[in-house]
Amino acid sequence: MTATPPDVIRCAYAELVVTDLAASRAFYVDVLGLVVTHEDSSALYLRAFEEYLHHSLVLRKGPEPALGVLAYRVRTPADLELAEAYYRGLGCPVSRRPAGATRGIGEAVRVLDPLGFPVEFFHEAEHVERFTQRYDVHGAGALSRLDHFNLDTPDVPAARKYYEGLGFRVSEDIQDAEGTVYAAWMFRKPTVHDVALTGGDGPRLHHIAFASHERHQILHICDHLGALRKSGMIERGPGRHGVSNAFYLYVRDPDGHRIEIYTHDYYTGDPDNPVITWDVHDNQRRDWWGNPVVPSWYTDASVVLDLDGRVQPVVERAEPREADVTIGADGFSYASGQAEFKLGEQV
Amino acid sequence: MTATPPDVIRCAYAELVVTDLAASRAFYVDVLGLVVTHEDSSALYLRAFEEYLHHSLVLRKGPEPALGVLAYRVRTPADLELAEAYYRGLGCPVSRRPAGATRGIGEAVRVLDPLGFPVEFFHEAEHVERFTQRYDVHGAGALSRLDHFNLDTPDVPAARKYYEGLGFRVSEDIQDAEGTVYAAWMFRKPTVHDVALTGGDGPRLHHIAFASHERHQILHICDHLGALRKSGMIERGPGRHGVSNAFYLYVRDPDGHRIEIYTHDYYTGDPDNPVITWDVHDNQRRDWWGNPVVPSWYTDASVVLDLDGRVQPVVERAEPREADVTIGADGFSYASGQAEFKLGEQV
Amino acid sequence: MTATPPDVIRCAYAELVVTDLAASRAFYVDVLGLVVTHEDSSALYLRAFEEYLHHSLVLRKGPEPALGVLAYRVRTPADLELAEAYYRGLGCPVSRRPAGATRGIGEAVRVLDPLGFPVEFFHEAEHVERFTQRYDVHGAGALSRLDHFNLDTPDVPAARKYYEGLGFRVSEDIQDAEGTVYAAWMFRKPTVHDVALTGGDGPRLHHIAFASHERHQILHICDHLGALRKSGMIERGPGRHGVSNAFYLYVRDPDGHRIEIYTHDYYTGDPDNPVITWDVHDNQRRDWWGNPVVPSWYTDASVVLDLDGRVQPVVERAEPREADVTIGADGFSYASGQAEFKLGEQV
Amino acid sequence: MTATPPDVIRCAYAELVVTDLAASRAFYVDVLGLVVTHEDSSALYLRAFEEYLHHSLVLRKGPEPALGVLAYRVRTPADLELAEAYYRGLGCPVSRRPAGATRGIGEAVRVLDPLGFPVEFFHEAEHVERFTQRYDVHGAGALSRLDHFNLDTPDVPAARKYYEGLGFRVSEDIQDAEGTVYAAWMFRKPTVHDVALTGGDGPRLHHIAFASHERHQILHICDHLGALRKSGMIERGPGRHGVSNAFYLYVRDPDGHRIEIYTHDYYTGDPDNPVITWDVHDNQRRDWWGNPVVPSWYTDASVVLDLDGRVQPVVERAEPREADVTIGADGFSYASGQAEFKLGEQV
């Protein structure tokens, strides 16, 4: 007998622990162009141009980089009760937080979910000005809204099952012929995902992603980092994903947290939305143009905190790793089904 | 005492020897969208959408891939006489070609230039419809015009001197602190280049480049190749060059000839146009975003034919190679001047 | 006591009666680039590149241009029973249609809704290939998906109330200080609208809209029509809407049916999504750049058929008309609140 | 016997007299994003992002809006002597200006040309930082460089003849079947124009134009003005010109001076570049999409000063006016050759 899960609307905000607020501000505000809702000596509260809730990203000063919390918005205040009961039923640590425990956010329930991630559910939040048409402050790399979270977790099928229990559905995944699942994309709002599950040592945060309207906005962020002589912050891309069809860029913030900029997602809201399964050996699954994935993208991720602010231990993935079975010493990939593919080796 | 050189307007067309015209047509016409001016069993004559001369690219069927000729347009018919005298003075093989020797091209002078490249000078050419506003046939990856040639040659300073003799000026180059010159960009029309000289084993053709209006047209070519499951034809990019500031993509045709698609060049037409010299160790010189250059881009190039259609021998570069002195086993690069840079290693 | 309405997912397809299928094909397929799922001597079934249901537009040959039906997809087969009961309860004509009555569509309920529009509800539909990544067939003006319907109806508050009964919510509207409502935008899927209600003589179809990813795709459609010497089909735009913030273009098909191409919409899926009310005298409400609305855009619309295929009578709007109270003889508009505004008069 | 004209490279800068420097700064710097090279209480010296000469636009405070001077750069210092002799030969007022007479500009020759415009020729100018890759300061509407001047002059054939004497060539023009010439586009650098001659009451400055790389940069300027509630400054466009094929926007500065933003021009540098003659009745000549030209665009222009700073008298055009012979009471236009065209009347 299972409890009723809360009705999750969408991924809503993330809190990252950063070690140097000024350095983070230079990156998130001056380069990425996020709007500052509030800032003080301990935290920055940021939002993208089309968002009207208080923030979609909190950067909180702390001793070492980590994920503080992932927050999902629920449909009604009553969903908080459902959340509490649901996670207690799962045997997870649960805590109630009064309104304002996080600035701008109403009453909330925080849990350490079965995958080991600190997750918050909230309904109420302070409204602030929506900058949709504030083109006077939109820069050349304007970001519209938070799009999704991407999580490293050792056992993707188990994680998928857990998220299906919360009412998420799969849009796409990556498997091999033996049935190993390497990654899955899952959503509540009708985009390709609110959360992606990536097979790897976890719990760790692989990245959070913001959406832009057009690709030139993403390209500008690259140009901007080049002009600052900070091209080293560009980790991967820009490129076109096979999975999701989105145009993407991965950058690393001053603490190494990975941020994706993302556009050209597709609508998934119909109940029979076709699930796309990609072969892990398909060289176009991660990059439609066949450009190789850099190793750090597979290996690096942010550790996560538990509800008491301690770094969670990381469990190794037992199943084969995508980086190992694809291009490289022991793996292979193809683009056309024949021999034709692009070697990832570089100078 | 030196002879007067011909007055070169711009790079005008290239002839590539290809081994399978149908395969080449699928690439240049169906993917790149070049307009067919004429085709028969031995050759394809192609132009981009804003060109009104008969062709800017000839694909001629032959037994092995090679560069057939590079053609420059000269300002007047009398420049042909100047060209003949100039190259005879240089001791180069020279041949006169009657109008129509190449379809659509008037009387011409062909030489084997001091760098070992087969080069043609012509003034007259047949006019055909300029498709500038034929948006009914422009695809999503529309190309506007031929932009430049890029040549592998062992001794860049010598090659630069030769091209300066022809009236070309340098816009940018790559050097190191010891004065080794790795590459130089030279122009007659007021863009960054009509010809680039890349230090390497030569004479070989590194690539020819076509310009588009905007970046999304270049990105579409990548998407298109992905859809055809031919992502292996994408060799490098898309990216932003440091040198020239252009947005670029390198693709390889079915014979391995390299084609660049290129946009966002700048105006160089004033006599005091500042020359930009890049340090070979600057990690943003080849890609403003610091993305590593793939090895094949440094090593592969097309052999060239002499005036009798025989493959020219290739002379090795004696000076240090850019690929060796930058990222990799023995080299290094920087982005910011400090330690910060992106390792090129890949899975 | 009210019946439970069907759970509408989104606007799903429209059927337009056209008088010349070949002319319509030249417009919708050759210019707009819609994909043909099926065609025969009596109809064309079309879809956009990211759609996997059989069609989002049916063009059916008939004696005079009209709207045949507007179709909404419902969440489950059981919603058909709800729909039938709901509209019978409203006293509307209702008919059940077996699967295949419209090619590609399963069992359906058709009604003549209280506003006088022929509306279909369906759940089942045939799946076809989703062309999301078929970049080999995407043209420069690629369209992604159907976005919304826009309806002329005399009494906007009454129409709004009716659609709220069906579970639609308002995202934006246009009013004046006296409380006259000139238009309202309403949605089920989390975009600005699935249906817009425009105050005017009705029932008439003002337009249907397809979404593209980026603005250059919309601009290409203009360029393409120019190249065909069919610029007369461009009625209004391109421009940026004040309402919805979307970038738009209105074109008229060979029968005069109006099609909008639309991009840059925003997310509306949270329950507290702020409603934006625009003053009818705000000169930037219809075009953020203040460019005047052409008169035909206010006056022209397509008549609609009843369930027996007869043209529905049109009822005149009794309240003030937006075209009359804004720029023109008796109206006025402002941009900044002061006198500054752009006169709409033209040569 | 004619004197040798100076060798003009390109249009180089304009000086506009403005009445409120702060208001002008808010427009040219804060909205258009031009870079300030120098400013003091009497003038602003501005340049676009790819320019390395001191300025391409001077805004000088004065009692009433006017054109102060149009400046062309010449190839060598010796061209100044040629310019002086050439204009003395034409009987024009001529004055020599020492280096620094205009800040940043070397020695110069100023003339009141036969068309009544104050024109400067200079060779030397101070170099400043070229911001080509300063993406950290490029806004979403980044402008690359000055492109051209557009002049109102009563007798276009006479003006054309004068500019041909200076070595300019025609790229395109607008005529009617009776041979009336309504406008001509003329160039030195290989773009469509350095100067356009528009038939109208003159001498007056119709506009100066800056080029951007892509169309989205132009669209952003519209969005930006909308956000500032200054949409009234958008006079015409955005649109695609028939003539030149360029994508355009016309805005009016706080004094009413007209600025065009312009992109997608084509290469004209070959000696046989085809001249395109448009029929004045072709409805797509001024806007490829057939959108009507607003009347102010035909009627308004900036008066010009003589060499002593007095406003030059304006001579009426004697020949038919384009606005009168096209759409409107007495004129007509066509798009397809048949009756089909778009009426310009507006609400």
Interface test with B, best of C50, C135, C143, C222 (most B CBs within 10 A): C135
- Residue environment code for B272-296, b if the CB has 16+ CB neighbours within 10 A, otherwise e: ebeebebebbbbbbbbbbbbbbbeb
pLDDT > 80? residue D336: no
A227–D contact, CB cutoff 8 A: yes
Could you tell me if B116 and B178 are in contact, meaning their C-beta atoms sit under 8 angstroms apart? no
D222–C contact, CB cutoff 8 A: yes
Determine the Cα angle at A107 with ends A103 and A109, to 5°: 110
pLDDT value of residue B251:
98
Q: Closest approach of chain A CAs to the CA of C89, in angstroms?
A: 27
B288–D contact, CB cutoff 8 A: yes
C227–B contact, CB cutoff 8 A: yes
CA B101/CA B37 separation, integer angstroms: 16
CA C118/CA C13 separation, integer angstroms: 12
Inter-chain touch B135–C216, beta carbons under 8 Å: no
Q: Which residues of B touch D263 (CB under 8 A)?
A: 213
Q: What average pLDDT does this structure show over D268-280?
A: 98
Half-sphere CA count of D30, side-chain side, radius 13 A: 17
CA A214/CA C218 separation, integer angstroms: 13
pLDDT > 90? residue C85: yes
Q: Which residues of A touch C269 (CB under 8 A)?
A: 9-10, 189-190
Inter-chain touch B234–A328, beta carbons under 8 Å: no
Q: Which residues of C touch A171 (CB under 8 A)?
A: none
C126–A contact, CB cutoff 8 A: no
Q: Percentage of chain A with pLDDT > 70?
A: 94
pLDDT > 50? residue C158: yes
Q: Which residues of A touch D221 (CB under 8 A)?
A: none
Nearest C-alpha in B relative to D133:
B245
CA A79/CA D199 separation, integer angstroms: 71
Q: Looking at the whole model, is its pTM more than 0.90?
A: yes
B127–D contact, CB cutoff 8 A: yes
CB pairs under 8 A between B and C: 45
Could you tell me if B121 and B70 are in contact, meaning their C-beta atoms sit under 8 angstroms apart? no
Nearest C-alpha in A relative to C134:
A245
Could you tell me if C301 and C259 are in contact, meaning their C-beta atoms sit under 8 angstroms apart? no
Inter-chain touch A133–D220, beta carbons under 8 Å: no
Cross-chain CB nearest to C135 (options B136, B142, B223): B223
Q: What average pLDDT does this structure show over C68-81?
A: 98
pLDDT value of residue B335:
77
Inter-chain touch B138–C228, beta carbons under 8 Å: no
| Chain position carrying tokens 């070609």 | B97
Chains contacting A (3 or more CB pairs within 8 Å): B, C, D
pLDDT > 70? residue C328: no
pLDDT value of residue A338:
47
A137: which residues sit within 8 A by CB, 6+ positions away? Answer: A35, A131
pLDDT value of residue C335:
78
CA A196/CA D316 separation, integer angstroms: 70
Query: Residue C333: which pLDDT band, with cuts at 50, 70 and 90?
Result: confident
CA D327/CA D341 separation, integer angstroms: 10
Cross-chain CB nearest to B231 (options A229, A247, A288): A288
Could you tell me if C245 and C239 are in contact, meaning their C-beta atoms sit under 8 angstroms apart? no
| Count of other CB atoms within 10 angstroms of residue A165 | 14
Inter-chain touch B136–C220, beta carbons under 8 Å: no
C229–B contact, CB cutoff 8 A: no
Inter-chain touch C225–D291, beta carbons under 8 Å: no
Q: Closest approach of chain A CAs to the CA of B241, in angstroms?
A: 10
Cross-chain CB nearest to D189 (options B76, B190, B266): B190
B28 DSSP 8-state letter: I
Chains contacting D (3 or more CB pairs within 8 Å): A, B, C
pLDDT value of residue D326:
87
Q: Which residues of B touch D271 (CB under 8 A)?
A: 9, 75-76
pLDDT value of residue D330:
61
A26–B contact, CB cutoff 8 A: no
Q: Which residues of C touch D221 (CB under 8 A)?
A: none
Residues of chain B with pLDDT under 70: 1-2, 327-331, 336-347
DSSP annotation string for A234-278: EEEEEEE-STT--EEEEEE-TTS-EEEEEE------STTPPPEEE
> Mean pLDDT in chain C?
95
pLDDT value of residue B337:
54
Q: Where are the alpha helices (DSSP H) in C289-331?
A: 295-299, 322-325
Q: Closest approach of chain A CAs to the CA of B302, in angstroms?
A: 19
Q: Which residues of C touch A144 (CB under 8 A)?
A: 266
D295–C contact, CB cutoff 8 A: yes
Q: Percentage of chain D with pLDDT > 90?
A: 93
B347–A contact, CB cutoff 8 A: yes
Cross-chain CB nearest to A139 (options D134, D140, D214): D140
A9–C contact, CB cutoff 8 A: yes
Q: Percentage of chain D with pLDDT > 70?
A: 95
D129–A contact, CB cutoff 8 A: no
Start-to-end CA distance of chain D, whole Å, equals 57
Query: Residue D347: which pLDDT band, with cuts at 50, 70 and 90?
Result: very low
Q: What average pLDDT does this structure show over A167-189?
A: 97
Residue C229, phi-psi category: left (phi > 0), alpha (psi -120 to 50), beta (remainder): left
pLDDT value of residue B345:
44
Q: Closest approach of chain B CAs to the CA of C227, in angstroms?
A: 6
- CA-wise closest residue to B222 among A145, A264, C28: A264
Nearest C-alpha in C relative to D337:
C229
Nearest C-alpha in D relative to B11:
D270
Kind of pairing, strands B169-175 and B276-279?
Answer: parallel
| Range list of β-strands (E), B176-229 | 181-187, 195-199, 204-211
Inter-chain touch C294–D327, beta carbons under 8 Å: no
Inter-chain touch D222–C230, beta carbons under 8 Å: no
| Range list of β-strands (E), chain B | 8-18, 35-39, 43-47, 57-61, 66-74, 94-97, 108-112, 118-122, 145-153, 169-175, 181-187, 195-199, 204-211, 234-240, 247-252, 258-263, 276-279, 302-303
- Helix (H) or strand (E) holding C99, with range, is none
Question: 3-state secondary structure string, chain D?
Answer: CCCCCCCEEEEEEEEEEECCHHHHHHHHHHHCCCEEEEECCCEEEEECCCCCECCCEEEEECCCCEEEEEEEEECCCHHHHHHHHHHHHCCCCEEEECCCCCCCECCEEEEECCCCCEEEEECCECECCCCCCCCCCCCCCCCCEEEEEEEEECCHHHHHHHHHHCCCEEEEEEECCCCCEEEEEEECCCCCCCEEEEECCECEEEEEEEECCCHHHHHHHHHHHHHCCCHHHEEEEEEECCCCCCEEEEEECCCCCEEEEEECCCCCCCCCCCCEEEECCECCCCCCCCCCCCHHHHHCCEEEECCCCCECCCECCCCCCHHHHCCCCCCCCECCCCCCCCCCCCC
Interface test with C, best of A272, A286, A289 (most C CBs within 10 A): A272
- CA-wise closest residue to D54 among D41, D38, D43, D67: D38
Query: Residue C330: which pLDDT band, with cuts at 50, 70 and 90?
Result: low
Q: What average pLDDT does this structure show over D172-199?
A: 97
Q: Closest approach of chain D CAs to the CA of A49, in angstroms?
A: 13
Inter-chain touch A138–D216, beta carbons under 8 Å: no
B182–A contact, CB cutoff 8 A: no
> Mean pLDDT in chain A?
95
For residue A65 the two structure tokens come to 């980089």
| Range list of β-strands (E), C62-102 | 66-74, 94-97
Q: Which residues of C touch D336 (CB under 8 A)?
A: 229-230, 232
Nearest C-alpha in B relative to D284:
B133
For residue D174 the two structure tokens come to 């607008």
D145–C contact, CB cutoff 8 A: no
